[in-house]
Structure 1
Amino acid sequence: MTDWKSNLERLGLTLPKVAVPVAAYVPAVRSGSFVYTSGQLPFVDGELIAVGKAGAEVSVEQAKAAARICALNALAAVHEAVGLDAVVRIVKVVGFVASAPGFTDQPIVINGASELLGEVFGEFGAHARSAVGVAELPRNTPVEVELIAEVG
């Protein structure tokens, strides 16, 4: 396995506190050998780092950075549920991008999440993925990311 702690440190990142759910759900659930996270928003210290739609108020670069934060928040949820030492691999990522009409760069935006997972877990961070454009997301955020991690 990769040393996720050293990789986060090398990236200048630390796991944040898990965001408090804004509705009737939990941040992550373990079922058998998998941990499923709820959709994570790009919160940093309780504040969204971007609002608006990708391709309008939010640039591709800003949305990609937000997706990276979403993935970090998802890792924090996994860590709280089982500890990241238990992660065998990241299996699946689903990213939602609030998109302006005609915006089609959802895959580039969600690369922010995918690239972070690769940087943290190396080959074990490679995953299946969906990048979906949507009309609206909670709290007017431009991106939301959820993941499935296999754990041992």
Structure 2
Amino acid sequence: MSAVEDRLAELGLTVPDVAKPVAAYVPAIQDGRRIYTSGQLPMVSGELVQTGKVGDGHGLVPAEDAKKLAEICALNAIAAVKGLVGDLDKVTQVVKIVGFVASDPSFTGQPGVINGASELLGKAFGEAGVHARSAVGVAVLPLDAPVEVEIVVALADD
């Protein structure tokens, strides 16, 4: 087990199996020393955990719940990276995160939601988990997911 997986285990988390694509794409692709993940949804055991728009109101996904969903997305992104490289200790830097939040029109807390992904990556990768990031509000996401996260990581030279 990698040091990254050990840190996740301390949080009570394990790297899941790679989520199966829901369309015509692969979960991640390597280009030289970089791995780019596809957008990862909050899937657990092949099932979307929750659906809907994020916001403050009846029938909406609360921001704190969405933050936990973003953490699940990040864990799925870690799984996609591990699926290509095998050993997560080969990751020298989480370079960038792009987080999408299916938002009610009045919701402006996208950065706080995507903190769920950022904080998990920081805990998992330590200093190498510090990254650039975008947090974007969108009208709808695939399968009516509240959150989607993609990451780019750099690998050590072989």
| TMscore range, shorter length | over 0.9
Distance in 1, matches of 2:11 and 2:49, equals 19
SS in 1 for 2:8: helix
1:3 aligns with 3
2:42 aligns with 42
Code of the aligned partner of 2:23: A
Distance in 1, matches of 2:22 and 2:41, equals 11
2:98 corresponds, among 94, 100, 120, to 94
- 8 Å contact from structure 1 (residues 35, 149) kept in 2: yes
Shift of 1:143: 0.3
2:79 aligns with 76
- 8 Å contact from structure 2 (residues 42, 147) kept in 1: yes
Shift of 1:79: 0.1
- 8 Å contact from structure 1 (residues 118, 125) kept in 2: yes
Distance in 2, matches of 1:124 and 1:44, equals 26
SS in 1 for 2:21: coil
- 8 Å contact from structure 1 (residues 50, 62) kept in 2: no
Distance in 1, matches of 2:73 and 2:13, equals 13
TM-score by length of 2: 0.93
Distance in 2, matches of 1:35 and 1:86, equals 11
Shift of 1:120: 0.4
Q: Give deviations 1:91-114, integer Å, cap 9, x for gaps.
A: 000000000011000000000000
Structure 1: 5+ residue runs without aligned partners? Answer: none
2:113 corresponds, among 109, 112, 136, to 109
Matches within 5 A, 1:3-152: 3-55=3-55, 56=57, 57-83=60-86, 84-152=88-156
TM-score by length of 1: 0.97
Moved more, 44-53 or 130-139: 44-53
Structure 2: 5+ residue runs without aligned partners? Answer: none
Q: Give deviations 1:45-93, integer Å, cap 9, x for gaps.
A: 1111111000052000110000000000000000001121210110000
Distance in 1, matches of 2:42 and 2:5, equals 21
- Residue-pair matches, total: 151
RMSD: 1.0
Distance in 1, matches of 2:145 and 2:113, equals 13
